[in-house]
Chain A
Amino acid sequence: MSFAQAFPGDPSVDATLAAAHKLTRDEYARVVSVLGRVPTYAELGVVSVMWSEHCSYKSSRVHLGRLPTTGPRVIQGPGENAGVVDIGDGFAAVFKMESHNHPSFIEPFQGAATGVGGILRDVFTMGARPIANLDSLRFGRPEHPRTAALLRGVVAGVGGYGNCVGVPTVGGELFFDRAYDGNILVNAFTCGVVRTDRIFYGRASGVGNPIMYVGAKTGRDGIHGATMASDEFTAAGPSQRPTVQVGDPFTEKLLIEACLEIFAEDLLIGIQDMGAAGLTSSSVEMAARAGSGLELDLDAVPRRARGLQPYEMLLSESQERMLLVCKPGKEPRVREICEKWELDVAVIGRVTDTGRWVVLATPDYDPLAAAPVARAPIVVCDLPVGFLADDAPKYDRPQGDDPSLPARHAFDPAQIPEPASFSDELLRMVGSPNLGSRRWVYRQYDSIVRGGTLARPGGDAAIVRVPCTTEAGTIDKWLAFTSDCNGRLCELDPYQGGAMAVAEVCRNLVCVGAEPVGLSDCLNFGSPERPHVMRQLARAIDGIAAACRALAVPIVSGNVSLYNETDGRAILPTPTIAGVGQLADVRHATTAGFPDAGLVVVLLGTREAVAGPLGGSEYVAAHTGEVKGLPPTLDLEHEVLLQRLLLDCIRSEPRLVLSAHDVSDGGLAVALAECASNESVAVKDIGAELELPPSKVSLAEQLFGEAPTRVIVTVLPSDFEQLARLAEAVGLVAHRLGISGGARLVLRAGGSACIDVAVEALAAHRRACLDALVGEA
């Protein structure tokens, strides 16, 4: 039995107030029974955020255990602030992807900006210098009245934060579907690099060690952000703006530099970012990981708002704050470094061995007051650490099939009338918001700050040089980054969709010459309280797990975002996968566009998947406005063989494959158009004269079907036979499509041209794909 006192002015706590905090009747009963008393108002707030879906993963934890999280390169899997993967020579990549969906829908600029800020802190808190960001974005249909403003706000927010802190944003995704009309997705990814002997963890150990608060002052912003992120929206409207935090990238930049200086001097036991649920979550998690206890003194917390109550200080999600546990005697040096960077710093507590999370504060004490009252702290919270963290509720929620699926699977895309002109159809496709150039977006991101970006946004994956410096000298490492997920395929078959997201991320990395070394997942779904959403989540996890095992690449970090629904309508299930690859040699770097005229253009893939079924494709969605039809399936065995073959052909000396581009959204014709119209002013566009492989399926399916396990590559004419032999030897096929060159992309089927368009027209249509939405780029 513990003892904690109400603060003057606290409302009285009962089951009704608990329900308003989103605690179920059972959950509240458990709190009262474990404490042996009614919790204080501050304790109720703390329990409600720690047990929120966002912090506790209560609906997803039973399933997440099925993900493969280990491997020879894995230094740290899920459970810490970010995952850590060995990249050799004493260095490691530290990375994670996280959602900031709910705040971005309420306030797009700040929501997106603070999403970037939060994931940066998760990464540099482990001792790593952030070197690359990705941003995976989903919006409602382009013609929805809010889409343009949301898009503008989110992109400006991502850029506004990332550009200022000086971390290049090198890629991401942009996708529109009506299913996101009421719930946009903003998934932010950061990768950093750290010396393996200088990795820091979020652990509070060593009785008596000081707990230090560093960074921005605490205000009232973002209170209950984590609880809001665990709730659905209603059409009654976004009225939750006060729950969204406000970002200050300049303070973040100072925080990064200060923390990296502190890390270099070995002054810390542990460190953690104050993210969702702020001071509460960071301190509880640090104590939980170390199996220790904590005592916090709220009177010492730096603040910028008058009259802050304990409840508010504990739940504030003010940004750019870190919690540090110092080594004994190192506190003055930490203070000195923080002061150099003009950051607030204060000792706000001590590590204990009680296993309890104890919070003290003086009633009516306000350091900002003209004459603060004398300090006489009382205990406002006294809770067992485990009760808040590992012992939080865990639910195996009921699952059920999506009743709408059989009818949707039954749709036959052959019902869509054949376009009068496939040339015009291709121009329309490449000029559509989902398939065209993303340059309006990525030009608002500084993708080259720090001077290490080798492959900029617009390709299959970005490549960044990472100089790794030790006392012995500097070794350059080359890391590749990409993210992917096709929510439509996940909706029609969550297992296949999950597996395909993993396969495509890895395929994209291999296409630029990198070997996939680790993944992060950001699982965005609707309400887990609905059985078919729960089934989507469970099946997607199974699909991700199967693909990870087949491709031998682990999930080392991740995040779950549920309740992405409005008025009972859920988003497309969107398990976004972000991937990190490593190039063994910078000479392996490979681009997607046709690099020269006179090369043989080859479709590398399986015999069966020359053409994919159209179910769930952009073509079907464009013509029917719906996500339907039988989706393609992934043959993992062939996928593994394809990726291995492609990487071998890129790494061979002399190099066999000269360019490589993954075939995905929009199918083969769109992929070829992308090869013929690159995004750089420094490279010339080159067309091609091609013949489709013989096929019995419709032309629309051959051109726009989205079957996986296909890559377009170019080789020297003299090398084609060798590539064909290598493919055949592993049961794959190198389909010779034709020769690159000229100013037109010509595609023949059975001898007659079905597509004949100028590359200039393709490029112009791709460039203009967002014009109707946001004006000319």
Chain B
Amino acid sequence: MRAAVVLFPGSNSDVEMIRTLREVMGIPTDVVWHRDTALPPDTELVALPGGFSFGDYLRCGAIARTSPIIGAIRRHADRGGYVLGVCNGFQILTEVGLLPGALLRNEHLRFECRDIFLRTDAEGPFTERRGAVLRLPIAHAEGRYHTDPATLRRLEAEGRIAFRYAHADGLVNASANPNGSLDSIAGIYGGPARNILGLMPHPERMSERLHGGVDGKALFDTLLKTVAGSSNPSTEERRAQVAS
């Protein structure tokens, strides 16, 4: 397993993403600048960290979409390569079109940073068991997921709604929803093999004991298991797998 963390001007959660990948998970991790045009060879996971790329001045992620590295990320994703977008990274993935929908201003209009609970609603490379409840921090002003009714139905039908905001016991309702997200959506899967995960909460900020919990580490643990379980298929194998 090899990871690449993509930095845009204004990325600011790169430190904890790189630390979680390298030091907590032991995954060799490269740092890629947004003006680069290729990912390092053998990159299996591309992580887009949180922050305020280009100041989020036009619209979150709207300027990052035009960065030279995006083409390489798109090709990696289309091949079935793993992509994780957290917070601003999620916003960028929706702007790029690798994930459907958009992240709007929180309903209460404030930036909010606190721990919330998530219910796992889809299995995939980063999530093992539906129904599992995680405690992760959010830290965003624009995290209200939105999409059109047809897309929402498709996401639901295809089991691509990875996480919903919930209470500690897993109950999903409006009072557990911190930002007014459509259908309490906190994160979604995309890509040909659910190989793309975008979520607003920060798993990389709940990966060490000092963070007050390690629920976020579970996502990376599961990914490592997934990769090991797939016995490191070559790109060719994965292409065949995806095509079937």
Which residues of chain A have a CB within 8 Å of any CB of chain B?
156, 159-160, 163-166, 248-251, 253-254, 341-342, 439, 442-454, 456, 465, 586, 680-682
Let me know if B115 and A444 touch, CB within 8 A: no
Chain B hits for A451, CB < 8 A: 13, 15-16, 19-20, 204-205, 207-208, 211
Chain B hits for A163, CB < 8 A: 52, 111, 113, 139, 141
Chain A hits for B10, CB < 8 A: 164, 250, 253-254
Let me know if A586 and B13 touch, CB within 8 A: no
Let me know if B55 and A249 touch, CB within 8 A: yes
Additional A-B contact list (7), CB under 8 Å, known A156-B111, A445-B113: A163-B139, A166-B13, A443-B112, A450-B13, A450-B15, A451-B211, A682-B213
Which residues of chain B have a CB within 8 Å of any CB of chain A?
9-10, 12-13, 15-16, 19-20, 50-52, 54-57, 110-115, 117, 135, 137, 139, 141, 168, 202, 204-205, 207-208, 210-213
Let me know if A166 and B168 touch, CB within 8 A: no
Let me know if B9 and A446 touch, CB within 8 A: no
Let me know if B52 and A253 touch, CB within 8 A: yes
Docked complex Cα distance between A511 and B86 (Å) = 35
Chain B hits for A439, CB < 8 A: 114
Taking a contact as CB atoms closer than 8 A, the residue among A164, A342, A681 that contacts B52 in the complex is A164
Let me know if B213 and A586 touch, CB within 8 A: no
Taking a contact as CB atoms closer than 8 A, the residue among A164, A446, A681 that contacts B135 in the complex is A681
Docked complex Cα distance between A447 and B15 (Å) = 14
Question: Which chain B residue has the least Cβ–Cβ distance from A257?
Answer: B9
Let me know if A160 and B111 touch, CB within 8 A: yes
Taking A164-B52, A250-B57, A451-B20 as contacts, is the C-beta distance between A680 and B13 under 8 angstroms?
no
Question: Which chain B residue has the least Cβ–Cβ distance from A476?
Answer: B210
Docked complex Cα distance between A442 and B111 (Å) = 10
Let me know if A165 and B12 touch, CB within 8 A: yes
Chain A hits for B137, CB < 8 A: 448
Let me know if B12 and A682 touch, CB within 8 A: no
A-B contact pairs, 10 of them (CB 8 A): A166-B12, A444-B112, A445-B111, A446-B113, A448-B202, A448-B205, A449-B16, A449-B205, A451-B208, A452-B210
Chain B hits for A342, CB < 8 A: 9
Taking a contact as CB atoms closer than 8 A, the residue among B55, B112, B207 that contacts A164 in the complex is B55
Docked complex Cα distance between A253 and B14 (Å) = 13
Taking A449-B139, A586-B210 as contacts, is the C-beta distance between A250 and B55 under 8 angstroms?
yes
Let me know if A250 and B52 touch, CB within 8 A: yes
With a 10 A CB-CB cut-off, give which of A253, A448, A454, A465 has the most chain B CB atoms.
Answer: A448
Let me know if B52 and A680 touch, CB within 8 A: no
Let me know if B113 and A248 touch, CB within 8 A: no
CB distance from A162 to the nearest CB of B (A): 10
Docked complex Cα distance between A539 and B33 (Å) = 54
Docked complex Cα distance between A254 and B34 (Å) = 14
Chain A hits for B111, CB < 8 A: 156, 159-160, 163, 444-446
Let me know if B135 and A454 touch, CB within 8 A: no
Taking A444-B112, A450-B15 as contacts, is the C-beta distance between A249 and B210 under 8 angstroms?
no
Docked complex Cα distance between A680 and B117 (Å) = 13
Docked complex Cα distance between A747 and B9 (Å) = 55
CB distance from A216 to the nearest CB of B (A): 12
Question: Which chain A residue has the least Cβ–Cβ distance from B55?
Answer: A250
Let me know if A454 and B55 touch, CB within 8 A: no
Chain A hits for B207, CB < 8 A: 451
Docked complex Cα distance between A443 and B19 (Å) = 24
Taking A451-B15, A681-B168 as contacts, is the C-beta distance between A254 and B9 under 8 angstroms?
yes
Taking a contact as CB atoms closer than 8 A, the residue among B20, B54, B141 that contacts A250 in the complex is B54
With a 10 A CB-CB cut-off, give which of B16, B113, B135 has the most chain A CB atoms.
Answer: B113
CB distance from A683 to the nearest CB of B (A): 9
Question: Which chain A residue has the least Cβ–Cβ distance from B115?
Answer: A681
Chain A hits for B210, CB < 8 A: 452, 454, 465, 586
Let me know if B52 and A249 touch, CB within 8 A: yes
CB distance from B75 to the nearest CB of A (A): 25
Chain B hits for A341, CB < 8 A: 9
Let me know if B168 and A253 touch, CB within 8 A: no
Let me know if B113 and A682 touch, CB within 8 A: no
Question: Which chain B residue has the least Cβ–Cβ distance from A775?
Answer: B108
